[in-house]
Amino acid sequence: MADKERDPTCNPVQPLLEKDDDDEESYAKPYPTDPNYSKDHRVNAPPPPPGQPQPSTEEYATFDIVKATQYGVYERCVELIEGGHDVNTPDLENVSLLHWAAINNRADLVKYYISRGAVIDKLGGILNSTALHWATRQGHLAMVVMLMSYGADPSIRDGEGCSCIHLAAQFGHTPITAYLLAKGHDVDLQDRNGMTALMHAAMRVQNQDPSRLLLKFGANVHLVDKFHKNTPLHWAASSGNYIVASLLNEYGANLDAVNDKGETPLQVAMARKNYWVVKKLKAFRLEKGLDRTNFIDGLTNSSKVRERVMFFFPFFSLFVVGYIPELDEPWYIKLVLFGIFIFIWRLVGRMFFDQRYSVKMPVALYLATKFWMYFTWFAYCWPYVNSLAIMIPFSLNTVFLMYNFWKAWKTDPGEVVSKPDERIKAILELTETNTLTLQQFCNTCLVQRPIRSKHCSICNRCVARFDHHCPWVDNCVGFKNHKYFVGYLFFLLGMITWCIYGCGTFWQHEAGIHYSVDGFWGVVKKIVYVSPFVSWIACNAMLHFTWVSILLVCQLYQVVYLGMTTNERLNIKRYTHFHTAKKGIFKSPFTRGIFKNFIDLLGWRCGGICRPDGTDWMKKYDVDDNTSIKPRVTLNQGRDNYQYV
């Protein structure tokens, strides 16, 4: 079986065939351990399955060397080895003791067996694998680190022609993949069939990792396997993996590449009836101009054209909705015009709006609303507000609003970045020192994450002192632009107030409203009649006034009074450094008092009178220390797999 050639079209990387499931993988399950047995002689011993009796202490004394190794009975293993059992003698399945210790994560026994001369890279089992292969299959990162520290070679191929990086990729063990790459393993190493780790991941793992990790380490998206000449995109299309297909497209995969049958990835997906992938690939091809049939296709499938349409359509929509009632036409003509507008809106949405709609539309809607508010101010309200007492503060508010909006929109919020050598150093340090925690390393950005930082899924980056992603400025709010965001809210509230004041002044002069005489509905009728467009803009202004006021108050309450960000407040139970001795009581360790928190937010020095906090949140990794990483959840904890957050 070990020498049998595999056909990549038929799940080429099945780790164990049906026969193997009974031979190898069944032993990979954790074994029960007597809770009275010394904890110093157990590693990650989980509780026994419900209803399964535990061996007694007396039974341990009867175990043979293989069973004792599987159960992690250290003293029994030592007794048998000291009694003359050769540590390299395989069992009837040609499996060594080191294999059993590695697959069951028995770290103390691995150390002992190696000290007694165990061959670190001995091949064994039906798949003719090393102990490192077995640990990799099970996702035991700590065991992989330990074996490699003793000289285990991850480039050795097993009976199926796979090295450790191929196994880690096909089983979705992203941390092990990262560690192997950090140790210098070739990211494009091909197995016996010419399959790379990226091909295995594209075919077997239906999520972004470890494919994204491999691509960040420079995996070649154009390599082909030996037998079918398939690229990674072909394998993703064959298995219906539209998530990885999208990733490969982002990294420049050739959509026109053909395999030995002359099939493109799209044709492979169509033949396998993987319709989600078919839809994605068709969209990618149209976007790149590969399948355009006419000018309209070129427009509707151009990413830049769709983005511009999504950006400018709110400007058109706000104007039309307010201007149609303003026309001096019969009501039925206006009704027809509204019908035409709704048809155009539906047509444009179908042709040009894509998945970026929810991200791009809010900032476009804000800019459109602000534009028409200023248009209303100068086109309708100008005769009644044209005085220095009004225009000077209005103009100053406009200047500050524009400045703070631009800075909040375009300023780097504090993206946490690292150089390739720094990424490798962080991976090696956190794994080899057993100090990796679930909040310390981002497997998307491959960076060591400072405290208070978070990965933004929309921007696809880690942001220092992350507050939230704001769609109204199309940017994250973080360490470097938080003060501009608060300033933007403050001056936006001022602009909206000026707009409402201008509309009220216009109505007072043009409609002659008198609430005591006309009553509520009489006033409404007059202001709508005198100018439906001004009424429409005023309604928008009052709507924006509501959410801006609430958001500004919440921001000041959280940052100034509580001393925490929006993300920290929403996920406060997740961050242990906010927990106090009293259960259910949380307190920010970063607060310095209301006044100092306010100064820290704005960064004011006032000629040296104020001293804002100078902490560099892009380099602070712990509450009490700017450089050290304190262990919280170590790698050798009893878990089946290890996942970065």
Active site residue 470: yes
Direct distance between the N- and C-terminal alpha carbons of the chain, in angstroms, rounded to an integer: 38
CA distance 506 to 382: 9
CA distance 145 to 428: 9
| Closest to 105 in 3D by CA, of 168, 147, 65 | 147
Query: Helices 331-352 & 303-323, crossing angle to 10 degrees?
Result: 170
How far from 167 is each of 136, 181, 536, CA to CA, in Å? 7, 13, 62
CA distance 469 to 575: 19
Question: Buried (b) or exposed (e) across 345-354, using 16+ Cβ within 10 A?
Answer: eeebeeebbe
What is the residue whose two structure tokens read 């068709």?
282
- Spatial neighbors of 58 by CB under 8 A, at least 6 apart, are none
User: Strand pairing partners for 454?
Assistant: 463
DSSP symbol at 209? T
| Closest to 537 in 3D by CA, of 338, 289, 326 | 326
| Closest to 499 in 3D by CA, of 535, 541, 536 | 541
Query: Helices 197-204 & 242-250, crossing angle to 10 degrees?
Result: 140
CA distance 635 to 436: 6
CA distance 338 to 343: 9
Pick the catalytic residue from 164, 381, 470, 476. Answer: 470
* Catalytic residue positions, numbered: 470
